[in-house]
Structure 1
């Protein structure tokens, strides 16, 4: 049986969301979460590999349809999130003369290289995912922060969502999730756990995430440190787990110790699940966490500061619980995925009607 999804009707496609990277990344995750919400209100289609068939998707054979105007509109919007996607949009518009307007979302926390700056200057509109990422842009832009799916990431609702349902030792869990590598600061988390767990016998540490071949030696070194510290029965490397959302609900504290990030969604995922966060000052973390209310932020790469901030919550589980309850309210009020989808749709409409001027930047 042919399970190939039906081709989208290009006459009705107002916005194209390209995804030119097959391997899962934060950008891919953003597209997967946002497009279904946006598709309820506008004509939008994805283009590229690595996306589920549940999304509205253009076929490669339909790319030529971008050279024609959509139904009832003078142009489409090409919403790029990577350099290669900006370059494709520039080629469509300036070489093939396709009727498209170009939008770029930037999450970078660094000075852009000359080619990237050249591409950005050819965009009709630019979005920054945080005030910090916006500070690296040299063009007018809007800040539209990422949101989180609060239907998927929610507080515990059953015994299986509690840490006791995991079948691991201890009463409370502290976790660090995501790709395991030096950039993500997994080693900083492990060092903090080696220092703290002997003083807090009720706590267990959980590490989940994918390990690629190039980072296997890094992970092996961490495991060796844990074993030498005699904590192999209290610091668990679970690898990739099928339901990371459930593991967030099982935690009493989440730690995001990245040395650098683009945006970084894991603190939002944790807080939406009712778990407070201790994070480094990387990515948008400082803009996501209410200091002293939903968690704490420490200088990136500062081992001592991270350990002491984590210690304060491990020493007071009741305080962690209260911070987790406030975190749920905080995320629901400011970072629901619908808010991000709505803000982007409003931007598409302003761009489509030629109403994006300096005042809207």
Structure 2
């Protein structure tokens, strides 16, 4: 409503200025000021007063408009909700297996390059994917997450299990030496699902190679049983580093990334037969986003509610412009999530209007 009023007042101001200009043109034709008709002087004074009032009204409306925009912050996750349906599909399949062996943790590898916004994917798991897949008919379900930091100085791979157990105890119970059973008892005490997430970079795998990943799974292979109706998700995020500078360093990382990716594929194709006390899955690699996926994001319910049903075509045109510019600059028709979300956030900040203004 405010935006419509602003346009209406701007039209009135333009009309008032035009009327005032005409009066002033008529006055200029009189050689002597004393010969100007009194009515013309009164008309000028009336139109000048009207114009001043209209400009004051416009000023107040613009202030109100800016305040209303500031009062509607963008939901932080919204720009990151572009298509990750392939990952959700594989997670749903793993959950079907989990429901048949509900007493086991679900261990999941999530991998992708530097620019795929891994931490926002974790937020998506917490706020969207897991509540929808586990409790489709329920209201808001709290998913609790805990960071399990990777040991910074792992000299011997045989020490990994002890260090992970100590870090878990420190993080969850603020005590260094606690048994797995005590830690597990704390985790199953949560009313909703729990995520334990660990994050690795390519460089973290240099010293011990892919054995680190196997040993991480072995650590959870020996985890105590989970109580019925409880969910424990172990998410291992692996980020492929992509140095920007061209040279030997970039080539080395490309080679190492390929080796890690190949190992993950082999592990997935083996069906994790050696980890028979776990439900394991590898989600498809987090890839860059296509224009079609982004346009579907614009049509999605959450985006339409925030942006406004009647203005979706305008948003889709802006998305087209983003992808055309990106392809012109990068010679690619897909955009990494980090850059895409940054562009979408800017659009939402600059062009969104409040519910009141859409009435």
Q: What is the TM-score of this pair, normalised by structure 2?
A: 0.24
Which one has the bigger helix percentage? 2
Q: What is the TM-score of this pair, normalised by structure 1?
A: 0.24
| Greater RCO, 1 or 2 (C-alpha within 8 Å, sep 6+) | 2
Which one has the bigger strand percentage? 1
